[in-house]
């Protein structure tokens, strides 16, 4: 094999965020930029030589040439075999499934998740460990250190691999196998859910759905599972063709970016279930006929009803949520008598809990839910969970959720995103807020008395590691909260996320618009943090 050592210099901006490295496509297209980061990954790993690596992505622009580059780097660095998703397509949860099923040492996933795609848009890359989950912080920190010191990378000569045809090939001494990862994932779903119950309901129209794949990676998976295996009508899946620019749309399954689906679910022709998934297939949005289910409520409803489904009939070991996610699932856990863990944002923090058997379900307010079947959040899994639940209960989405509120109370919840902020202004806002935390406790406002204010720190109960500076929490009387943090998923400027919630136990008061129910807390968040003063913004960019 012809191995070429190429001299290079560090770029200095390759620190992985909560889900790997995300930059504009043009940044990744710089000479040596992608190569530097991938070499830094290999230099951070132990015992990968001769082992199996999984490789694929969400099909966005630059996915295919990046994949060929990585194959050459993998061969030169001594990887034994690479499993590649056909066409370079591999959803993030399917990648986790394949890593675990075939005993791979890890996987490289090419995705910027829910960020836009195209030549002028975003690209991303992350490494998943042998458990199928995002690399732990010690690994991402090692990758970043390597990227600051790199002076050379190794690549192999030779032509490109045909990634569109299933079968075996070679890059030098390294075996390459182009696989149908859709089948592996679909088989796993069939083991978790009652396909025999759902199939006659979906095929007859007694249970109807509209799944929006958003021209992203889940289209092939949805066709195989929802249409072929469950017999749903072809019109049940829309925008099912993965496109490099996602059809010019923003592949983020929320009320702002899935407008056509939302409109359909509020029409006279609305199906029983509406759902969408994002660019790489790990996020989900759930809608009923004229009814939106917040991701926080979705997790809580899943936990309360999991034993009704075959894959979870034995009960839950525990649940976990990210700190900004509403505390709706906490009360479910309390009634079930199981642990509930509060972690920082980032799916990697659930990995140790899942591997240790401490939790079965977990979720984040950012449209991510999952279970111990893989080590990633899983959009299509969540849709199947809800379909199975509706089939078992024979109720509408709204009926299921409202019954849940009557039993556990409703956590009114909203997230306000201020996108594209000046990074200096955003940092100044957070610094000023942190400096004022000691004075907040005990202060009274129209929204209530502040009981506690802190900068969230997490100690992992499995390995004892500590993660500090994970977001500002302001706790108020009446189980109300305001949370503020800067997001690590954007590629331009800074994004400030403000999360607001309060508990309403009176069923007579559970039907308000969250923006109305939370208006005092929304005003208090702006007042305490000085959002308008620091950013010059009079309103958030996106409200969910």
Q: How many Cα atoms are found within 13 Å in the side-chain-facing hemisphere of 240?
A: 18
**Nearest C-alpha neighbor of 271 from the set 215, 202, 198, 218:** 202
Task: Specify the residue for token string 């009634």.
Answer: 335
**Catalytic site residue from 96, 111, 113, 296:** 113
319-322 and 237-238 as β-strands: parallel, antiparallel, unpaired? Answer: unpaired
What are 309's two structure tokens? 């489904």
Rg of the chain on CA atoms, in Å: 23
H helix intervals, 356-505:
379-393, 397-408, 423-435
| C-alpha pair distances (Å), 540 with each of 46, 265, 291, 481 | 44, 25, 23, 18
What's the CA gap between 127 and 204, in Å, rounded? 42
Contacts of 214 (CB under 8 A, 6+ apart): 239, 246, 247, 249, 251, 253, 258, 276, 277, 278, 279
Give the rounded distance of the alpha carbon of 94 from its chain centre.
13
457 is catalytic: no
Contact between residue 265 and residue 238 where contact means Cβ atoms under 8 Å apart: no
E-strand spans in 401-477? 410-421, 444-445, 448-455, 458-459, 466-467, 472-476
* DSSP assignments along 126-159, one per residue: EEE-TTSSBPPHHHHHHHHHHHHH--EEEEE-S-
* DSSP assignments along 201-219, one per residue: HHHHTSS-EEEE-TTSTHH
Q: What are phi and psi of 495, to 5 degrees?
A: -120, 120
DSSP category for residue 378: -
Angle at 164 between CA 163 and CA 170, to 5 degrees: 30
Could you give the residue numbers annotated as active site? 113
């Amino acid at each position: 094999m012809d191995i070429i050592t190429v001299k290079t210099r560090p770029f200095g901006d390759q620190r992985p965020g909560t889900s790997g490295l995300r930059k504009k496509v043009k940044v990744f297209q710089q000479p040596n930029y992608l190569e530097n980061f991938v070499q830094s990954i290999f230099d951070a790993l132990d015992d990968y030589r001769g082992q199996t690596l999984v490789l694929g992505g969400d099909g966005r622009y630059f996915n295919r040439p990046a994949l060929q580059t990585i194959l050459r780097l993998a061969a030169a660095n001594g990887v034994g075999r690479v499993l590649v998703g056909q066409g370079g397509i591999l959803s993030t949860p399917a990648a986790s499934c394949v890593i675990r099923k075939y005993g791979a040492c890890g996987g490289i996933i090419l995705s910027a998740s829910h960020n836009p795609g195209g030549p002028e848009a975003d690209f991303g890359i992350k490494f998943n460990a042998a458990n199928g989950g995002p690399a732990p912080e010690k690994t991402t920190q090692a990758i970043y250190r390597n990227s600051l010191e790199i002076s050379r990378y190794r690549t192999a000569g030779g032509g490109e691999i045909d990634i569109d045809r299933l079968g075996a090939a070679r890059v030098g001494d390294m075996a390459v196998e182009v696989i149908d990862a859709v089948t592996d994932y679909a088989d796993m779903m069939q083991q978790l859910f009652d396909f025999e119950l759902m199939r006659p309901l979906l095929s007859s129209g007694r249970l109807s759905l509209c799944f929006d794949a958003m021209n992203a990676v889940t289209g092939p998976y949805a066709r195989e599972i929802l249409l072929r295996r469950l017999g749903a009508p072809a019109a049940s899946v829309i925008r099912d063709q993965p496109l490099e620019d996602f059809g010019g749309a923003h592949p983020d399954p929320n009320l702002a970016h899935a407008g056509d689906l939302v409109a359909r679910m509020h029409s006279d022709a609305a199906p029983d279930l509406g759902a969408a998934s994002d660019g790489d297939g790990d996020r989900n949005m759930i809608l009923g006929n004229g009814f939106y289910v917040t991701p926080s409520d979705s997790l809580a409803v899943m936990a309360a009803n999991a034993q009704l489904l075959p894959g979870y009939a034995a009960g839950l070991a525990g649940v976990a949520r990210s700190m900004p996610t509403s505390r709706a699932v906490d009360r479910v856990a309390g009634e079930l008598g199981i642990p509930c863990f509060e972690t920082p944002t980032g799916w990697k923090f659930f990995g140790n809990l899942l591997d240790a058997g401490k939790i079965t379900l977990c979720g984040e307010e950012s449209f991510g839910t999952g279970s111990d079947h893989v080590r990633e959040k899983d959009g299509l899994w969540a849709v199947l969970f809800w379909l199975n639940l509706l089939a078992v209960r024979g109720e509408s989405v709204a009926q299921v959720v409202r019954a849940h509120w009557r039993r556990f109370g409703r956590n009114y919840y909203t997230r306000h995103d201020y996108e594209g902020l000046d990074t200096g202004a955003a940092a100044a806002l957070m610094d000023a807020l942190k400096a004022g935390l000691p004075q907040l406790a005990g202060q009274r406002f129209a929204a209530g008395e502040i009981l506690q204010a802190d900068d969230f720190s997490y100690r992992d109960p499995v390995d004892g590691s500590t993660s500090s500076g994970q977001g500002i929490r302001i706790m108020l009387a009446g189980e109300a909260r305001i949370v503020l943090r800067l997001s690590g998923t954007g590629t331009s400027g800074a994004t400030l996320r403000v999360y607001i919630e309060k508990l309403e136990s009176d069923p007579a008061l559970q039907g308000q618009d969250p923006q109305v129910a939370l208006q005092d807390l929304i005003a208090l968040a702006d007042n305490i943090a000085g959002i308008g003063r620091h950013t010059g913004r009079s309103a958030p960019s996106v409200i969910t």
